[in-house]
């Protein structure tokens, strides 16, 4: 009897997960975007619904109608029109769409937190009456569960009929197949895509409203819960709707059934953790077991387009470069040292900057340099923090208590095996699968370690001390800067020379790199391992800076936020990582908490227009300005603008007559980075040193198309 | 000879690379215009500009006296300016019949028999329910052309008709294309140097590095084709 009743109870949660999964699948199959923002949208709609019912005292049906039939689809339509249509227009990679949806997630969570605060709301209204129907045999099923099940069946049948039987369905499948060809065939692809988004966000709204009364409604909590239902679409291999529904119901019922067992002894805590986090566990296990997701559009693996730069030039840098480099570094160092002069409370706020910068650097290594999406960085950071705290307290496997700095470094190093382990799945995985796998690792670590009393109870964070003397705030900040310096050194070594080129080759074209003999496997492992250590160090500093281990700091949602921030500020830019950390801490200090989330979200949505993040936008503006300046400057005929230098070369003018052109004339046809030709007067005076530096910089800062090809000469 | 399409001063490209450097092009109505040139000369880009897939950075495009520089690819297709791209020109996961049906329905009609009459091979038993992705290269080109035929375009843009096809199939498709042209449809076709294209064309543009290096009668070009492959 209990089992049957529990199964009925499980159907309810399973049906909600199924709705969420169907929404994800519809958006994915029509747009090729795995809508990570599903959770954020669900939370937003749930809050709006609660606001209408509780604060404005509207009747439930009116609120439901407004939030599900108006607000939810409108959110989807807006997202399609302003965020994802521009991306689809320029055939952005799946990785770019992933980041855009992360941006939407961060933005919606930021909005919800900004409007309603982070506190929990226990009074979320229930959509269906809280009654139960008596079934034969003394079983009861709640109206909730019945209604949700009916909803799932209706949605499934409706979608199935539409896609296979109708004209619109054929159009949908044509658009899914090839959006550009659909437009060439006079099929309104944008309308199909918009419909897909509207259905997806409406189902997200349903998920949010139905889930809200089951928990203490908080922006982060609900968002995370919806993210965990991604297990369902993984089981469906991103394609099969019945697969998603069955998995969702199965996990829901299993979770419910497990609650009738009592496990005592050593595994009690573990059992309880598994039971209450079955969706997370299923997500990771399914990702490791399911052979391949049926991703749309092929290669989603490359994050190359987040990164605007290639390898640094292998030769010695020119004097202009060196000067710029030194100036930049001095400026950066001065800014980082500035907090030493701050008043104590401000200095303590600044503690977060180097720690966060290290975490961001770890993402630069793994995403910017080697092109792997990593959405689980908070997990590594938290592990680094936890391990170093345990080491310092002498609570790890009976090891003696280590002095602070040794515990700090060793704790970070001990994260390496975990990084290596997650690197292993990454060898064969890429794109969305890799993104989800890393997210799942972070979520599992968070739920099964950081939130378990076994590991974090009585965790005492000892302030950092050297030679038995506790460091003052100033000295602690100096230690943080030293660690950051260490991290920057590691990053530099990974970016330059042979290793850097090999990593970039893996990033830009994995198969090509493997074909020319680059050891892709070990490089991926290396980047994941090093990145996890750097993140662990950052996490440990983050904990020491705040003098406590807070599981919330290392929540999986923060992984997503941090990843987004790094991509926004330029995934391949170490300086960008430091600036991003400074930016987030500054905003959070000056503005109400959560504002940085909102800011990062807004910036992420502009990625559609700034493919390389802010760093490349800044570089682009400088290049453009100096290009314009250089255009106004007179050119010297002898300025080596062309690779061919001064020798006369042969070229074929449009008339088709071969002729010999002196090099000065060739220089006049120099092509700017933007590709347009600008005339340079012959016999112009020589450039000023400034002009030369500027021209050199502009040329080296971007890839210049070769002006005259040897192929032309015959 | 009235002009169907007039492209003036067209500059276009991809990201930082400009491919067309101020191209001027006039497509006469009811004739076959061939765009010839080596790889990277800008043939496909020109067709993409005409079809609205590649936006112009400067310059303008006029269709039958109306300026359509800003018109979307979808609206151009609906109005009858249709491109057959060189690759991925069919919906691989749809069946042959669905491929045909989806374009007929988009143009507000229902009948797919003209396509089967023009390409009997598509009407063979079981062929209609076959997925387009499992067709051979030549059959896929046929299906792509059959789809466009059903839409009854006013202007037909064909990119690399002969790409990857056996000479026999290629000449079959060229033969079909000539019947379309005889029917009064304006055809613009981009190809590497081929006899077929020259035989079919009324006007030839030779593109070189995003600029036009020759315009005129195909007869003028014919002897030089074998002599100078550029």
Considering only CB atoms, which chain A residues are within 8 Å of B88?
178, 181
Q: What pLDDT, on the 0 to 100 scale, is given for residue A2?
A: 73
The nearest alpha carbon in chain A to B210 belongs to A654
The nearest alpha carbon in chain B to A173 belongs to B94
Q: Do B73 and A652 touch (CB under 8 A)?
A: no
Considering only CB atoms, which chain B residues are within 8 Å of A675?
13, 16-18
Q: What's A551's DSSP letter? A: G
Question: Cα distance from A181 to chain B (closest Cα, Å)?
Answer: 7
Q: Reply yes or no on whether the pLDDT at A503 is more than 70.
A: yes
Q: Do A185 and B102 touch (CB under 8 A)?
A: yes
Q: Reply yes or no on whether the pLDDT at B159 is more than 80.
A: yes
| Confidence bin at A653 (pLDDT 50/70/90) | very low
Question: Cα distance from B154 to chain A (closest Cα, Å)?
Answer: 14
| Confidence bin at A202 (pLDDT 50/70/90) | very high
Q: Does B16 touch chain A (CB under 8 A)?
A: yes
Q: Does A405 touch chain B (CB under 8 A)?
A: no
| Confidence bin at A317 (pLDDT 50/70/90) | low
The reported pTM is 0.79
Residues A185-213 have a mean pLDDT of 92
List the 65-104 stretch of B: residues with Cβ below 8 A of A.
72-74, 77-78, 82-83, 85, 88-94, 98, 101-103
The secondary structure of chain B in percent helix, strand, coil, rounded to multiples of 5, reads 40, 30, 35
Q: What pLDDT, on the 0 to 100 scale, is given for residue A572?
A: 78
Q: Reply yes or no on whether the pLDDT at A660 is more than 60.
A: no
The string over A579-616, giving b where at least 16 C-beta atoms fall within 10 Å of a residue's C-beta and e elsewhere, is bbbbbbbebbeeeeebbbbbbbbebbbebbebbbbbbb
pLDDT in tens, B109-119: 888 888 888 88
Residues A550-557 have a mean pLDDT of 88
ipTM higher than the 0.85 cut: yes
Which of the residue ranges A134-143, A170-179, A541-550, B45-54 has the most confident prediction, judged by mean pLDDT? B45-54
Q: What is the dihedral of CA A84, A89, A95, A101, to 10 degrees?
A: 0
pLDDT in tens, A341-390: 777 777 888 888 899 999 999 998 888 887 788 898 999 999 999 988 88
pLDDT in tens, A401-448: 777 788 888 888 989 998 888 888 777 777 788 888 889 999 999 988
* Average pLDDT along chain A: 79
Considering only CB atoms, which chain B residues are within 8 Å of A178?
88, 91-92
The residue ranking higher by pLDDT, A617 or A69, is A69
Q: Does A177 touch chain B (CB under 8 A)?
A: yes
User: Helices A167-177 and A2-31, interaxial angle, to 10°?
Assistant: 70
The residue ranking higher by pLDDT, A543 or A130, is A543
Domains of chain A (ranges; CATH) run 2-289 (1.10.3470), 345-609 (1.10.3470), 618-712 (no CATH)
Q: Long-range contacts for A233-237 (Cβ within 8 Å, ≥24 apart)? A: A233/A21, A233/A24, A233/A25, A233/A28, A233/A34, A234/A283, A234/A286, A234/A287, A234/A290, A234/A293, A234/A436, A235/A282, A235/A286, A235/A290, A236/A21, A236/A25, A237/A290, A237/A292, A237/A293, A237/A294
Q: What pLDDT, on the 0 to 100 scale, is given for residue B1?
A: 59
Pairs of CB atoms within 8 A across A/B: 89
| Confidence bin at A654 (pLDDT 50/70/90) | very low
The nearest alpha carbon in chain A to B97 belongs to A170
Q: What pLDDT, on the 0 to 100 scale, is given for residue A650?
A: 37
| Confidence bin at B157 (pLDDT 50/70/90) | very high
| Confidence bin at B220 (pLDDT 50/70/90) | confident
Q: Do B103 and A705 touch (CB under 8 A)?
A: no
Residues A235-264 have a mean pLDDT of 87
| Confidence bin at A703 (pLDDT 50/70/90) | very low
Nearest-angstrom CA–CA distance, A369 and A500: 8
Q: Does A176 touch chain B (CB under 8 A)?
A: yes
The residue ranking higher by pLDDT, A303 or A26, is A26
Q: Do B88 and A675 touch (CB under 8 A)?
A: no
Question: Cα distance from B91 to chain A (closest Cα, Å)?
Answer: 6
Q: Reply yes or no on whether the pLDDT at A337 is more than 60.
A: yes
Q: Does A183 touch chain B (CB under 8 A)?
A: yes
Q: Do A178 and B91 touch (CB under 8 A)?
A: yes
* Candidates B102, B105, B129, partner chain A, best to mutate (most A CBs within 10 A): B102
Q: Reply yes or no on whether the pLDDT at B21 is more than 70.
A: yes
The residue ranking higher by pLDDT, A188 or B164, is A188
pLDDT in tens, A573-614: 888 888 889 888 888 888 776 788 888 888 888 766 666 667
Of all residues in chain B, the percent with pLDDT exceeding 90 is 17
A184-193, A297-306, A569-578, A583-592: least confident range:
A297-306
Residues A167-187 have a mean pLDDT of 87
Q: Do B211 and A654 touch (CB under 8 A)?
A: yes
* Candidates A89, A185, A669, partner chain B, best to mutate (most B CBs within 10 A): A185
Locate the DSSP E strands across B55-210. Answer: 58-63, 66-67, 81-84, 155-159, 186-191, 203-208
Spans of all domains in chain B: 3-89+154-227
* Average pLDDT along chain B: 85
Q: Do A174 and B18 touch (CB under 8 A)?
A: no
Q: What pLDDT, on the 0 to 100 scale, is given for residue A670?
A: 38
CATH class of segment(s) B3-89+154-227: alpha beta
Residues A118-131 have a mean pLDDT of 83
The nearest alpha carbon in chain A to B19 belongs to A675
Q: Does A298 touch chain B (CB under 8 A)?
A: no
The secondary structure of chain A in percent helix, strand, coil, rounded to multiples of 5, reads 70, 5, 25
Residues A562-567 have a mean pLDDT of 89
Nearest to B73 among A183, A656, A675 (CB): A183
Is there a contact between A372 and A527 (Cβ–Cβ < 8 Å)? yes
Nearest-angstrom CA–CA distance, B166 and B173: 11
Nearest-angstrom CA–CA distance, A284 and A375: 13
pLDDT in tens, A30-79: 888 889 999 999 999 999 999 999 999 999 899 999 999 999 999 999 99
Q: Do A652 and B208 touch (CB under 8 A)?
A: yes
Locate the DSSP E strands across chain B. Answer: 3-14, 17-28, 32-36, 58-63, 66-67, 81-84, 155-159, 186-191, 203-208, 211-216
Q: What pLDDT, on the 0 to 100 scale, is given for residue A679?
A: 42
Nearest to B89 among A167, A181, A183 (CB): A181
Q: Reply yes or no on whether the pLDDT at A645 is more than 90.
A: no
Nearest to B107 among A186, A190, A656 (CB): A186
Q: What pLDDT, on the 0 to 100 scale, is given for residue A29?
A: 85
| Confidence bin at A83 (pLDDT 50/70/90) | confident
The nearest alpha carbon in chain A to B157 belongs to A184
Q: Do B53 and A180 touch (CB under 8 A)?
A: yes
Length of chain B as a residue count: 230
Query: Residues with Cβ < 8 Å from A154, sequence gap 6 or more?
Result: none
Residues A687-714 have a mean pLDDT of 47
Q: What pLDDT, on the 0 to 100 scale, is given for residue A297?
A: 54
Residues A684-710 have a mean pLDDT of 50
Q: What pLDDT, on the 0 to 100 scale, is given for residue A4?
A: 82
Q: Do B213 and A703 touch (CB under 8 A)?
A: no
Q: What pLDDT, on the 0 to 100 scale, is given for residue A711?
A: 37
**Segment (H or E) for A522:** helix A520-546
Considering only CB atoms, which chain A residues are within 8 Å of B83?
184
Nearest to A184 among B13, B85, B101 (CB): B85
Considering only CB atoms, which chain A residues are within 8 Å of B212?
654
Q: What pLDDT, on the 0 to 100 scale, is given for residue B229?
A: 47
């Amino acid at each position: 009897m209990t089992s049957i009743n529990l199964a009925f109870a499980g159907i309810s949660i399973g049906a909600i997960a199924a709705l969420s999964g169907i929404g994800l699948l519809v958006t994915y199959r029509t747009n090729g975007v795995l809508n990570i923002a599903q959770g954020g949208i669900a939370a937003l709609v749930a809050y709006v619904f609660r606001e209408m019912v509780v604060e404005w005292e509207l009747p439930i049906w009116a609120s439901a109608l407004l939030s599900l039939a108006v607000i939810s689809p409108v959110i989807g339509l807006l997202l399609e029109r302003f965020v994802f249509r521009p991306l689809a227009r320029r055939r952005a990679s799946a990785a770019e769409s992933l980041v855009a949806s992360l941006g939407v997630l961060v933005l919606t969570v930021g909005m919800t937190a900004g409007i309603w605060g982070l506190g929990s709301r226990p009074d979320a209204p229930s959509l269906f009456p809280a009654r139960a129907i008596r079934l034969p045999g003394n079983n009861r099923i709640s109206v909730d569960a019945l209604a949700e099940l009916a909803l799932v069946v209706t949605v499934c049948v409706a979608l199935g009929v539409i896609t296979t039987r109708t004209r619109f369905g054929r159009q949908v499948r044509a658009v899914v197949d090839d959006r550009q060809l659909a437009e060439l065939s006079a099929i309104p692809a944008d309308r199909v895509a918009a419909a897909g988004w509207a259905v997806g966000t409406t189902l997200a709204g349903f998920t949010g409203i139905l889930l809200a009364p089951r928990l203490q409604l908080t922006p982060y909590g609900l968002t995370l819960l919806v993210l965990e239902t991604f297990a369902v679409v993984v089981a469906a291999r991103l394609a099969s709707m019945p697969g998603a529904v069955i998995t969702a119901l199965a996990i829901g019922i299993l979770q419910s059934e497990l609650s009738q067992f009592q496990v005592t002894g050593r595994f009690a805590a573990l059992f309880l953790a598994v039971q209450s986090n079955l969706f997370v566990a299923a997500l990771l296990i399914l990702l490791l077991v399911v052979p391949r997701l049926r991703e749309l559009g092929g290669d989603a693996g490359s994050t190359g387009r987040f990164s605007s730069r290639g390898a640094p030039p292998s030769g010695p840098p020119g004097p202009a470069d060196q000067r710029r480099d030194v100036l930049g570094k001095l400026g950066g160092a001065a800014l980082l040292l500035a907090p030493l002069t701050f008043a104590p409370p401000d200095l303590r706020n600044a503690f977060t900057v180097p720690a966060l910068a290290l975490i961001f650097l770890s993402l630069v290594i793994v995403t910017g340099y080697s092109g792997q999406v990593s959405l689980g960085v908070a997990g590594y950071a938290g592990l680094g923090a936890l391990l170093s705290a345990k080491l310092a307290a002498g609570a790890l496997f009976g090891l003696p208590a280590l002095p602070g700095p040794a515990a700090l470094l060793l704790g970070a190093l001990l994260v390496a095996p975990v990084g290596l382990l997650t690197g292993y799945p990454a060898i064969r995985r890429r794109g969305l699968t890799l993104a989800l796998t890393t997210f799942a690792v972070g979520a599992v670590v968070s739920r099964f370690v950081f939130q378990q009393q076994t590991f974090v109870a009585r965790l005492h964070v000892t302030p950092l001390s050297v030679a038995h003397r506790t460091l003052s705030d100033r000295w602690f900040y100096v230690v943080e800067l030293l660690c950051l310096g260490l991290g920057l050194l590691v990053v530099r070594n990974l970016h330059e020379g042979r290793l850097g080129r090999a990593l970039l080759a893996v990033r830009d074209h994995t198969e090509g790199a493997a074909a020319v003999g680059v050891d892709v496997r070990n490089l991926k492992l290396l980047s994941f391992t090093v990145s996890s250590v750097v993140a662990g160090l950052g996490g440990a500093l983050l904990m020491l800076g705040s003098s406590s281990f807070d599981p919330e700091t290392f929540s999986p949602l923060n992984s997503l936020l941090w990843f987004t921030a790094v991509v926004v500020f330029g995934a391949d830019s170490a300086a960008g990582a430091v600036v991003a950390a400074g930016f987030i801490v500054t905003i959070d200090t000056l503005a109400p908490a959560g504002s940085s989330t909102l800011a990062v979200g807004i910036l992420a949505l502009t990625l559609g227009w700034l493919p390389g993040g802010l760093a490349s936008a800044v570089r682009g503006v400088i290049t453009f300005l100096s290009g314009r300046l250089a255009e106004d400057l007179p050119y010297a005929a002898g300025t080596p603008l062309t690779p061919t230098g001064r020798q006369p070369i042969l070229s074929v003018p449009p008339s088709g007559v071969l002729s010999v052109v002196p090099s000065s004339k060739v220089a006049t046809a120099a092509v700017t980075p933007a590709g347009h030709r600008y005339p340079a007067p012959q016999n112009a005076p020589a450039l000023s040193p400034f002009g030369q530096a500027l021209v050199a910089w502009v040329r080296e800062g971007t890839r210049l198309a070769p002006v005259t090809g040897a192929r032309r000469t015959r | 000879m009235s002009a169907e399409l007039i492209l003036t001063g067209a500059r276009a490209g991809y990201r930082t690379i400009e491919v067309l450097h101020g191209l001027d092009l006039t497509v006469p109505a009811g004739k076959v215009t061939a765009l010839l040139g080596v790889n990277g000369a800008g043939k496909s880009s020109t067709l993409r500009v005409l079809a609205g897939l590649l936006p112009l950075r400067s310059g303008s495009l006029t269709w039958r006296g109306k300026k359509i520089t800003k018109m979307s690819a979808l609206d151009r297709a609906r109005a009858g300016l249709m491109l057959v791209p060189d690759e991925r020109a069919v919906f691989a996961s749809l069946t042959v019949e669905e491929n045909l049906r989806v374009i007929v329905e988009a143009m507000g009609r229902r009948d797919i028999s003209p396509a089967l009459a023009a390409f009997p091979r598509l009407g063979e038993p079981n062929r209609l329910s076959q997925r387009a992705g499992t067709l051979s290269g030549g059959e896929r080109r046929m299906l792509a052309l059959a789809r466009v035929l059903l839409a009854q375009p006013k202007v037909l843009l064909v990119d690399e008709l002969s790409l990857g096809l056996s000479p026999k199939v290629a000449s079959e498709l060229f033969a079909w294309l000539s019947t379309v042209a005889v029917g009064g449809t304006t055809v613009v076709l981009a190809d590497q140097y081929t006899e077929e294209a020259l035989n079919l064309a009324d006007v030839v543009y030779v593109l070189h590095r995003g600029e036009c290096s020759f315009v005129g009668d195909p007869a003028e070009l014919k002897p030089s084709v074998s002599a100078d492959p550029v």
